[in-house]
Amino acid sequence: MKKSRLIGTVTPLLLTASALAAAEKLYSFAFKRINYVPDASDEMQKYATAYYRHVDWVATHDHLAVWHLDTTDHQHLSALWLAHPNSHKAVIIGHGYKGTGITMSNYAQMFYELGFSVLLPDDRGHGQSDGDYISFGWLDRADYLGWLDKMAQELGPEAQLLLFGVSMGAATVSMVAGSSALPPQVKAVVADCGYSSLDEELSYLLKKLFHLPRRPLVPLASFINYRRLGFGIGQVDVKRALRHNHLPLLVIHGAKDVYVPTAMGITNYNASAGPKALWIVPDAIHAESYWVDPTAYRDHIAAFIAPYFA
């Protein structure tokens, strides 16, 4: 074989092997579980004292219990249940990427004070739940249907349920809202700074953080994920799910969010087929909307959901 032909044959193989190795690194970084909660960003550290005050409030509450859910694919999941006496209203709160249920304690206390019982799940690949990889809401959406059924059974025939999530949790509850199997007890959805699709979010972050194009890394990572979790990255499409949502939806997004761009929140708002409202919070970065003004945040949500909860 001539040297030029040999080089022409070997070079694409080397490039492919290099791309596969890079995709595997990307996949492990983005999808593989870690058994700790990463530190908050420098911009969010100023809220640490208030954050831990909420965590202590939940962790020491008299009505706190641990719930478990076993899935059809043999995953054992865990959640915290904070029961509100004499209330038939309850909210499931979806946590963010590499977070856990307890990291949503500020929202838990807020909803409890609004008269809701609260469920704080640890999603697959997080906290006390099984799973070696993070599914970015895709597998979790089916798990949430199981949690919602459990909540409805706990509260009885008068149960009224709310979906709420932040960041990855917002994407999760939005995809739950678009499910044809949604329990009738679910009355509304509040989604704070969720991405419009996983493909778009990964492609955006690759370019922003590493100055890399979408191809070939995202398609290769999608192939890896399909082999390991059984679905492609393109299936995690929040805006597509919201086209099937007819529940009232409140979309909240920080005006200065550069981690999940504000435009994605607007895309999700536009996609939803039911009654809806959009609140762009001035000066808020990613997942900061609550912390900018907790009272305004609570009042905004309370006003939106009031017509749908007796």
- CA neighbor of 183 nearest in space, from 161, 208, 167: 161
Matching residue, tokens 């954050």: 51
Give the per-residue SS3 of the chain: CCHHHHHHHHHHHHHHHHHHHHHHHHHHHHHECCCCCCCCCHHHHHHHHHHHHHHHHHHCCCCEEEEEEECCCCCEEEEEEECCCCCCEEEEEECCCCCCHHHHHHHHHHHHHCCCEEEEEECCCCCCCCCCECCCCHHHHHHHHHHHHHHHHHHCCCCEEEEEEECHHHHHHHHHHCCCCCCCCEEEEEEECCCCEHHHHHHHHHHHHHCCCCCCHHHHHHHHHHHHHCCCHHHCEHHHHHCCCCCCEEEEEECCCCCCCHHHHHHHHHHCCCCEEEEEECCCCCCCHHHHCHHHHHHHHHHHHHHHCC
Give the residue ranges of the chain where pLDDT is below 70.
1-15
What domains can you pick out in the chain, each with its CATH number?
21-29+40-308 (3.40.50.1820)
Burial of 214 (0-12, 13-18, 19+ CB in 10 A): middle
Residue 6's pLDDT is: 33
* pTM assigned to the model: 0.94
